[in-house]
Amino acid sequence: MIDSPATKRNSEALPALPPTSDDLGPDRSLRRPFLNRELSRLSFNARVLAQALDPRVPLLERLKFLAISSSNLDEFFEIRVSRLQQQVAYGVSANSLDGLGPQEVLDRIAEEVQRLVAEQYRVLQQVLLPELAREGIVLVAPEHWSAAQTDWAQEYFRSNVLPILTPIGLDPAHPFPNVQNKNLILVVSLDGADAFGRRSGIAIVQVPRVLPRVLRVPQVGDGKTRALVLLSSMVQRFVGELFPGMAVTGCVPFRITRDSDLFVAEEETDDLLEAMKGELTRRNDGDAVRIEVGEGCTPELAKFLLSEFELDSVDLYRCPGPVNLHRLAALADLAERPDLRWPPLVPRLPKALQGKALESKGSIFNVLRQQSLVLHQPYDSAAPVIEMLRQAASDPDVLAIKQTLYRTGPSSPFVKALVQAARAGKDVTAVVELRARFDEADNISLATELQDAGANVVYGVVGHKTHAKMLLIVRREAGKVRRYAHLGTGNYHPATARLYTDISLLTADELLTEDVHQLFLTLTGLGSVRHLERLLQSPFTMHIEILRRIEHETALAKAGLRGRIVAKMNALTEPGIIRALYRASQMGVQIDLIIRGICCLVPGVPGLSENVRVRSIVGRFLEHARVWWFGASDTLYCSSADWMERNLHRRVEAAFPIDDKELRRRVRLECLEAPLEDTLGSWLLQPDGSWRPARDLPGAEPFSVQEALLRGEIRTQDNQEENLVFQDELPLR
């Protein structure tokens, strides 16, 4: 660890960090007080699936939560399970924090996923489809098609599907074809001989990806019922037309999930962009890690498929319904029932950027010279961020623009503005992270577009993903240079800005903008660790400063004063921080953690963590903001970093303070205080690793923090201020 001058200065006011140890208590049962990371991730997916059963959630949104739980499982197998299988294959015996070895974790995963898959299909078949049918939205199986629906389906199949299909009969001249990642495949059993007298009896048919997987049947009768069919069902129903003169005796769908993690030896490549392009072509052809089979799969067929893909029986998952539930998300749009969706979101604008207020200032830069702005997305519009960049692109006084791009999506307005600025002759630098998982292709495309426009494009630092969200604008004003910055917890992505909760800071503060400038110099140039006045950065100062601030609260409590920590993030897995939180709890520090997904800390254990409470909020919006508050100094940081090993040690991250008192109070209120009151979307982590709905607690009053924020209302208890705010009893310099 390299200490910056700021770190060394702070260390004078903070206690020295104690040595780390797994032995945090006299009870030997506490020697490994950690929850398993992978099982914790699966628990989060179960909480997502639970939204599909919540009657307060609009019906079509409940269907989408089911689809999300399916796509989450896909990624879990593509990345996490594939790594564990590799560890087993190569004889890696290293245990996880909770003491489980790779094979033990895989066994536990198989048990949990089998239960989760069974629950997914129960929710679909017994809850959602019947409720949709009562609303006149019917997913019609082929055996229930009317004569008119059958005629339409057959005509669609012959006109749009049949010309694309390529059946492959298996024989010595036609071996099993290469099955790409997550493609839906049909195994067709046949009786009879073909034109050449062959009687192999089995063929493979791939359901085309280029066609929509859910189709709406033209209206018939009263026109009130919306009938929909699955493309896979249509292909199964008419697959016999591919094999004239032969009888179809069986047709079973299956899907393979493959290892999708990319590997590029960055130190050994001269051109990361070209190396990533080459690696992307391998994503669909990685090792198989899971096979899903539809109804009708016999033990013999299952054994054949497992052998073909070199998988074990534990890797097979039977689907009592459509294979790949993620495809059902399209049904929500095809139903055309806005009354069964979330009400439209109308984000707010800060008063300083509304109508006449902005007209009087002339530009967003004039506003920011007078005050910093905080946006809490999606309740606040993300438009000011893109508007600041657009104004900069066309402003003759803007000299340079620098921006990090991690996930920004295709046809990004941010990229368009950067291209416009580069073509206008401004000095544009884009730090594009090519290794943003599953967005690599989009990022390669935008990097090429920016290079063609004349922008400086760099790919960050070898060995460290650039995950910090920063935008810096350099402007000439009154004969001198002034900087403006945006710092955020979320991506520069217009779609997720309406779906994820995030914090944005727009500022002209000289210390902060100078720090952002120094971070960009670190990313694009060479040199030693640069001194930052206000920002924390990974991999240099962030981890050590978080530990020091936790230990400061611990020292307060040990001295008989009050210690308090409230932190919100996506995941908590970093063992050093978890141990520090345990020590703080043992000294009496009151700790509340709002963790959306993975949590390896065990709360509520007597003698260890009885002063730690952990909750997860799952609702309409994905809780994505990272906000940390340390009570002794009333210091609040926002960041793109979770408290995970990768964020703190293997990524370039930034944590920025909210210095303005009113803005800090607002962020604390909306991101930390109000969520602690939530009962309708909150789950509470128990000492045994299970999650309990907060609504089940005795005396719990119904309150949803997301709904309150949508209405512009936040309710706090009378004693909330006393619980969360107190004087600086031990100043932190």
Angle between helices 413-423 and 383-394 (to 10 degrees): 10
Q: How far apart are the first and last CA of the chain?
A: 21
Q: What is the pLDDT of residue 356?
A: 63
pLDDT over 50 (residue 264): no
Q: What is the pLDDT of residue 437?
A: 62
pLDDT over 90 (residue 672): yes
What is the arithmetic mean of pLDDT over 111-123?
97
Task: List strand residue ranges (DSSP E) for 288-362, in order.
Answer: 288-293, 316-318
* From 467, 543, 552, 624, active-site residue: 467
Rounded Cα–Cα distance for residues 705 and 708 (Å):
5
628 has which bridge partners?
567, 637
Q: What is the pLDDT of residues 585-605, one digit of tens each?
A: 999 999 999 999 999 999 999
Q: Omega into 378 within 30° of 0, i.e. cis?
A: yes
Q: What is the pLDDT of residues 534-552, one digit of tens each?
A: 999 999 999 999 999 999 9
Strand pairing report for 214-216 and 226-230: antiparallel
Predicted confidence band at 419 (pLDDT cuts at 50, 70, 90)?
very high
CATH 3.30.1840.10 range(s) for the chain read 102-340
Q: What is the pLDDT of residue 20?
A: 47
CATH 3.30.870.10 range(s) for the chain read 5-32+537-724, 355-529
For residues 291, 292, 296, 298, the Cα torsion angle rounded to the nearest 10 degrees is: 20
Rounded Cα–Cα distance for residues 133 and 225 (Å):
9
Q: What is the pLDDT of residue 465?
A: 87
Rounded Cα–Cα distance for residues 539 and 648 (Å):
6
Predicted confidence band at 6 (pLDDT cuts at 50, 70, 90)?
very low
Predicted confidence band at 283 (pLDDT cuts at 50, 70, 90)?
low
Percent of the chain with pLDDT over 70: 86
In the structure encoding, which two tokens stand for residue 213, read together? 């997987």
Q: What is the pLDDT of residue 660?
A: 95
Q: What is the pLDDT of residue 3?
A: 37
Homologous superfamily (CATH) of 5-32+537-724 is Endonuclease Chain A (3.30.870.10)
Cβ neighbours for 347, distance < 8 A, ≥ 6 positions apart: 377, 378, 379, 380, 381, 382, 383, 498
pLDDT over 60 (residue 196): yes
Domain 355-529 has CATH 3.40.50.1100: no
Identify which of 196, 203, 207, 206 has the alpha carbon closest to the alpha carbon of residue 243: 203
Query: How would CATH label the architecture of 102-340?
Result: 2-Layer Sandwich (3.30)
Taking all residues of the chain, what is their mean pLDDT, rounded to a whole number? Answer: 87
Q: Is 144 a catalytic residue?
A: no
Q: Which long-range contacts (CB under 8 A, 24 or more apart) does 328-331 make?
A: 328/63, 328/66, 328/67, 328/124, 328/139, 328/214, 329/63, 329/64, 329/67, 329/68, 330/212, 330/213, 330/214, 331/60, 331/63, 331/137, 331/139, 331/214, 331/228
For residues 591, 593, 599, 602, the Cα torsion angle rounded to the nearest 10 degrees is: 30
Q: What is the pLDDT of residue 729?
A: 34
